[in-house]
Structure 1
Amino acid sequence: MIFHIVGCALVSVLLPALVAVAQSANELLYFSNQTGPFQLYQGKPDGSNPKLLIREPGYNYWWVYAHPNYTKFITYRSDTATGKNQNDYENAELWQYDSSGSDPVLLIDKKTHHWSAHGVAKYSPDGHKLIMAAVPGGQDWWYGFVTDSGGHYPKQISRWWMIDPAWSPDGSKIVFCGFPNNTPTFDLTKLELFVAEYDRTADTIRTPVQITSGTGRVHDPCFSHRGDRIAFSDGNMAYSDADIKVVDITGDNLTTLVDDNGANGGSIFWSCDDAEIWYHNVTLFVNDFQIRNVNLATRAITHVLKNVNNAFISAHMLCGSVASAQVPGSKLNSEVQPNPFMQQTELRTDIPLWDATLTVHTMVGQTVRELHHLNGEGVVFQRGELPAGMYVGQLSQNNQIIAIVKLFIIN
């Protein structure tokens, strides 16, 4: 039996790929069967301006995850001849595309690492690694694996049975779905959420801590951008009735946001300001797959993409459009080290700065720090009173943006 597992160092940023931080620039990636098989689309968060990114009539595509600098993304596909239009983990191929849906590169297929099934790959926050779930050849259970960003050198991160592993925004923790005391059973309603510290050097996790208890069949955990809460789905054995819930990373404040007669889940993710949770829904005898979001404060549900003739699945929000802008003529290379950091880090460039400015934004575009009159090849950035989380640093000179970096602050 293959289980339903739909989910949710150094940083070098080479321009001209520019990450926009204004929320108005957000884009939505999703899949739809409007042309037959499931294909990848890009559009606005309200469902408008759809653009077909990938059209391969012989394949169904599902699950997409963008690289942190938004210049490329990864997605799974399987041959339509298998008769399974999504989540075909036994026949899955993991592909990489550039932001426009071009330059496809096969990263992992069924034979690459002798796995009998694999899925839900996600980039690490610095973009250097992938985490995923896989079933090693000759075995029956799912485990967590980390590879480099090209899908090479797989390392099993633990002996714990796990599905749907996901990094925290600063890369210091991993959340996953597993069984208490690491005792697997075919009763999937025994699944619970676990959080573990991640050792970046050894690519292993420390002893997992169970943060839910007595839930149903849990799937798709996803950290908020602030890293303090986790959204997930909680369903019955058949997963025909699944709710959307949120819990603190400590296991406190478990809250049900969506409780209806539908199966809600699939590539769960938070809006860029952590105000909404996005998911897809299918309700037996009522509606095919739709993409929806729920507001955490009001519990209001918005039906973003729905159509009586088509299905929409596995949306992924880009907090800043894919390759949305360019810095004309810039050839600047920059790196941040250490990253993540606790108190201070240094942004270094290969071209000396002259009266430059570093502006630091939150992921929704709020300016939280500005450093002026910067000179030389290095900029020391002090955390000060900033809370832990992910930020975007914008380096400008002569009224021109010359570099964009992501900053990861941890406690």
Structure 2
Amino acid sequence: GGIPQVIARSYLAWWLGSPAWSPDGSRIAYGVYLEGSPDGDTVQIWTVNPDGTHPRLLVNLGECRAACAEGLAWSPDGSMLAFHSIRGVPAGTRAIYTVRADGSGLRRINRDGLQPSWSPDGSRLAFVRFPTPGGIPGEITHGELLTMASDGSDAIPVLEDVALSPNGLAWNPVG
């Protein structure tokens, strides 16, 4: 409860969103789309303390036009963040990325997924994919729910050809 506090501002931002609490509650990760920055239009992931102090640029993802750092999810031990990005060539290419909590090791681990969610032990990620057009967050369309190893290997279908909205995947706390 209590009064909401402003913890992040971006005066050049066209978009500020996808906040995600670290598992220990010490940091909040969020994405920012900056228009007109000295480096051009760019997308970044930042972390900040819950009281708004110590904002830190985690990673600069470069130029992107839409949904470039969404679905942020911390690994259970707080060492990694996973997120999806709709960017690249052809336009609208979906991918899941991971990055270490210190901002190093940015890596694309999947080429067609959205909304990553870490397993309780951090060994796997659940995600959705849409083999046909559609699947923009908030829309309901036919797709698949899968899991994969945290390095992107060993993708296993859990549900296929079902009506899904690619928002808010969550694991049972016991796995």
Q: How does the TM-score come out when normalised to structure 2? A: 0.75
1:150 to 95, 99, 102: 102
Decide which structure has the larger Cα Rg and report it: 1
Would you identify which runs of 4 or more consecutive aligned residues in structure 1 move more than 4 Å?
none
2:10 matched to 1:49? no
2:88 matched to 1:134? no
Inter-CA distance 223–187: structure 2 relative to 1 (3 Å threshold): closer
2:117 matched to 1:166? yes
Inter-CA distance 191–167: structure 2 relative to 1 (3 Å threshold): farther
Inter-CA distance 166–207: structure 2 relative to 1 (3 Å threshold): same
2:165 matched to 1:194? no
How far has the Cα of 1:154 moved from its partner? 2.2
Percent of pairs identical after alignment? Answer: 18
SS in 2 for 1:125: coil
Q: Residue 71 of structure 1 corresponds to which residue in structure 2? A: 26
RMSD of the TM alignment (CA)?
A: 2.9
Inter-CA distance 108–139: structure 2 relative to 1 (3 Å threshold): farther
Asked if the contact 1:78/1:92 (under 8 Å) is kept, the reply is yes
2:129 to 175, 178, 198: 178
Asked if the contact 1:192/1:210 (under 8 Å) is kept, the reply is no
Amino acid at match of 2:73: K
SS in 1 for 2:110: coil
Q: Distance in 1 between matches of 2:27 and 2:56?
A: 11
What is the number of residues matched between the two proteins? 164
Q: Distance in 1 between matches of 2:117 and 2:109?
A: 12
Q: Residue 15 of structure 1 corresponds to which residue in structure 2? A: none
Inter-CA distance 209–62: structure 2 relative to 1 (3 Å threshold): same
Q: Distance in 2 between matches of 1:92 and 1:99?
A: 22
Q: Residue 219 of structure 1 corresponds to which residue in structure 2? A: 166
How far has the Cα of 1:65 moved from its partner? 0.7
Q: How does 1:215-364 map to 2 (within 5 A)?
A: 215-216=163-164, 218-224=165-171, 226-227=172-173
How far has the Cα of 1:132 moved from its partner? 1.2
Gaps of 5+ in 2: none
- Superposed CA deviations along residues 301-355 of structure 1, whole A, max 9, x for unmatched, are xxxxxxxxxxxxxxxxxxxxxxxxxxxxxxxxxxxxxxxxxxxxxxxxxxxxxxx
Q: How does the TM-score come out when normalised to structure 1? A: 0.35
Structure (1/2) with the larger strand percentage = 1
Inter-CA distance 65–80: structure 2 relative to 1 (3 Å threshold): same
How far has the Cα of 1:206 moved from its partner? 1.0
- Superposed CA deviations along residues 281-317 of structure 1, whole A, max 9, x for unmatched, are xxxxxxxxxxxxxxxxxxxxxxxxxxxxxxxxxxxxx
